[in-house]
A and B are shown apart, each in its own frame.
Chain A
Amino acid sequence: MTLKELQIGSPAVITNVGGEGALRQHFLDMGVIPGARVKIIKYAPMGDPMELKIHGYQLTLRLDDAAKIDVTPADEYEDDKPEPSRKSKKSHPGLGETGKSHPEENSKPLPDGTLLTFALVGNQNCGKTTLFNQLTGSNQHVGNFPGVTVDRKDGAIKGHPDTLVTDLPGIYSMSPYSSEEIVSRNFVLNDKPRAVINIVDATNIERNLYLTMQLLEMDVPMVVAINMMDELTANGGTIDINEMEELLGVPVVPISAAKNQGIHELIEHAIHVAHYQERPLRHDFCEENDHGGAVHRSLHGIRHLIEDHAREAGIPLHFAASKLVEGDELIISQLALDDNEKEMIEHIVLQMETERGLDRSASIADMRYSFIHKVTGLCVKKPRKSKESIRSAKIDRILTGKWTAIPLFVLIMGLVFYLTFDVIGGTLQGLLENLIGTLSDITDKALTSGGVNPVLHGLIIDGIFAGLGSVLSFLPIIVTLFLFLSLLEDSGYIARVAFFMDKLLRKIGLSGRSIVPMLIGFGCTVPAVMSTRTLPSERDRKMTILLTPFMSCTAKLPIYAFFVDAFFPKNKALIMVGLYFLGILTGIIVAFLFRGTIFKGEAVPFVMELPNYRLPGVKNVALLLWEKAKDFLQKAFTIILIATVVIWLLQSFDTRFDLVSDQQDSMLAIIAGWITPVMKPIGLGDWRIVTSLISGVMAKESVVSTLEILFGQEVSLVMSKACAASLLVFSLLYTPCVAAIASIRRELGRKWAALVVLWQCTIAWIAALIVFQIASLI
């Protein structure tokens, strides 16, 4: 039978893993290997994908992929067995410690003062960024979703200025499945950090150690940090650190990054191994007696054959040999083997497959997991069932329940927007507006009594105060929306949304994982575009990036609020929510269009880990909000201040720099006049509106500040409701801001970025035309 046919709750053993290529390798790397025990936990509300338990963690898999995995029923799931208690018998090996002896051949001290570079490597969602923050004292955002770190970040260890830690994206293996895995692998191989800090999640140790095996093969000085030890011990689990250190041949340090426990010891060990360049004492995990030693003999034979090539290519020998057996194309090409050598290796591998009874990739994965089981069998007492997973299962019964998941998602998102735009953000915005208004009145009176020149007076009150003030008043709304998005992400809910939205998103050609960049897109397009790096398929990445700008970002909020207040005060909430839905709807239509034309094919398989629900950390959320507020204020007092002054100058003077009495004669009116005819059919033929939209390309909030300067308080008198509706739709859909365009250019290149600008403007123009024509008839 296949995994697809297995009943919920019935344990089974995997007998064969079908499929091919990178996806199959990814299955194997995630622990879906012959011999592994699995249990189906549930199906997503729409019947697909499924959530299963394997190696003690939750994994999601589509039914189509599950159909490729053969299983046989088993008596019980391994986690359900009682764990024997373990007592440490080993004395502390003392690896990576000052004062302890270490083999001389394994130690080549660096000259004092050498910059010690460290790579922070670990699985997704194992606490790397939390550890990075503890090590460096920085305030990177931490999330409870696999793939929060989408770019590398650097920082010196606190109190050690001659160090540099690089926080790499979370990866499951050194196989080139996603671009992040290639990045992390290349960083360790090419940038050659002095040492690696491998962070391992104690509550999910088997799958985490899979990456450790490959890092050990890379023969880089290394320290293993066992994170979340507090959670493990609180649930009755233990790890024999001494035994594990002995078995792995590298220093092992138990830590709790969130509680700042064990960090000092970790730093000492990391600096020691980096300074003395202490390499792992173990890089070989094949057993001579395992299935007749087929894998052992094959790996050792290949190592001898490729020794010279590996040395020349600068690839660690043990790592190169296992990757050759797995058929890793990137490593094969880097090794530059002769045809004869390739042929010999192929024969060795074929013989191994015959003797072992497994194909090449499965044999290597099985070898690694066999070693991991040996290590965990000797040193780890797993908690029977953690409080966190029991709590998560209870919450999931409701939040991912068959009949409750989607209604609750709609309700939660509705509540988020209601609280943001009305109850919390809206109220605070009113207060801030009053404050800015009072400040403007006081300044106005002071300038009048000081006999300040009327031109300067106009610049300060009608230019800076009106423009900048109107933008600043939206700070509470933006911070509030980010607060909720952060809470949803940190709690682990967004990962569930990806799980139950997968089937729906597949209908438009995307995977459930694409929901994450899109939800982040409601905050800001820039991080949303960056977060697409977690998607392992180029097709999905491109398509998601092109669709993300349709998700209305917070920077557009001031535009909506400004026009809704002025033109549609009675239907405020309805129009605001309607605009968001219009953006989503346009995105869906465009996705269908893409799917049938430039992005034909199927979405990337949905293989994702579901983290336990966690209470978002107050400090983490507060830091994120502070960063958002600071960035917003910084932008207001830099780009928007400059834009405000420039626009005021351009609209106050003509081409001979004479003060104009009629703004129609100003430089701004002349410049905007060139584009005005194009905007006339959509009801936006006023040069002032065109100017404000152009300024919006720089920063969306500038649209409002520019309108405030150009129109003053008379917007509602000059524009019709149809024009306002058209402008709202055009603002929703037209080109993203320069920062977003730059990030799209970074991810997809110049051509795609230019295409996005033209494409978005065209769609916005067509949508605005439809809205304007309909609204004009009403």
Chain B
Amino acid sequence: MNTADILIIIAIIAALVLAVLKIVKNKRQGKSSCGCDCSKCGKCDKGTGYLSH
């Protein structure tokens, strides 16, 4: 395994970790990751009973 291999492995792992973190962050913020119109939708009822109606 040469230096280039090590650097590539680090880069791939870093990219994957960042991707997972982004998904988790979006989920926590109530955003979806469907690539559509929902990144702005809020996706939560914030306790107003919205969904129960």
Contacts and interface: CB of A to CB of B under 8 A. Distances in A.
Contacts of A182: 53
A452 B34 contact: no
B40 interface: yes
A739 B39 CA distance: 11
Interface string A459-474: 1100010000000000
A453 B3 CA distance: 11
A527 B33 contact: no
Interface string A284-301: 000000000000000000
Contacts of A141: 37, 40
Interface stretch (A185-193, A356-364, A574-582): A185-193
Interface in B25-42: 32-42
A742 B32 contact: yes
A638 B19 contact: yes
A190 B35 CA distance: 34
Given A152-B42, A152-B46, A453 B1 contact: yes
Given A527-B37, A631-B35, A459 B12 contact: yes
Interface stretch (A264-272, A365-373, A599-607, A639-647): A639-647
A530 interface: yes
A187 B16 contact: no
A22 to B, nearest CB: 14
A570 B50 CA distance: 50
B50 A637 contact: no
A661 to B, nearest CB: 21
A627 interface: yes
B11 to A, nearest CB: 10
Q: Which of B12, B35, B43, B46 has most A Cβ within 10 Å?
A: B35
B38 A739 contact: yes
A555 B23 CA distance: 19
A434 interface: no
A183 interface: yes
A397 interface: no
B5 A452 contact: yes
Contact of B5 (A453, A523, A627): A453
A632 B36 CA distance: 7
Number of contact residues on A: which range applies? 35 or more
A478 B35 CA distance: 10
A62 B12 CA distance: 60
A526 interface: yes
A451 interface: yes
B41 to A, nearest CB: 5
Contacts of B38: 524, 526-527, 530, 739, 743
B20 A183 contact: no
Contact of A632 (B16, B35, B40): B35
Nearest to A646: B16
Interface in A148-185: 151-154, 179, 182-183
A186 B49 contact: yes
A379 interface: no
A630 B50 CA distance: 28
B41 A530 contact: yes
A183 B4 contact: no
A737 interface: yes
Contact of A456 (B8, B19, B20, B51): B8
Nearest to A531: B37
12 contacts: A141-B40, A152-B50, A153-B40, A456-B9, A527-B37, A530-B41, A627-B37, A631-B33, A645-B12, A701-B35, A739-B38, A743-B38
Given A453-B1, A634-B35, 13 more contacts: A139-B40, A153-B42, A182-B53, A183-B50, A190-B48, A190-B49, A447-B4, A530-B41, A553-B36, A627-B39, A634-B33, A743-B32, A746-B43
Interface of A: 139-141, 151-154, 179, 182-183, 186-187, 190-191, 447, 450-453, 456, 459-460, 464, 478, 520, 523-527, 530, 553-555, 627-628, 630-632, 634-639, 641-642, 645, 699, 701, 737-740, 742-743, 746
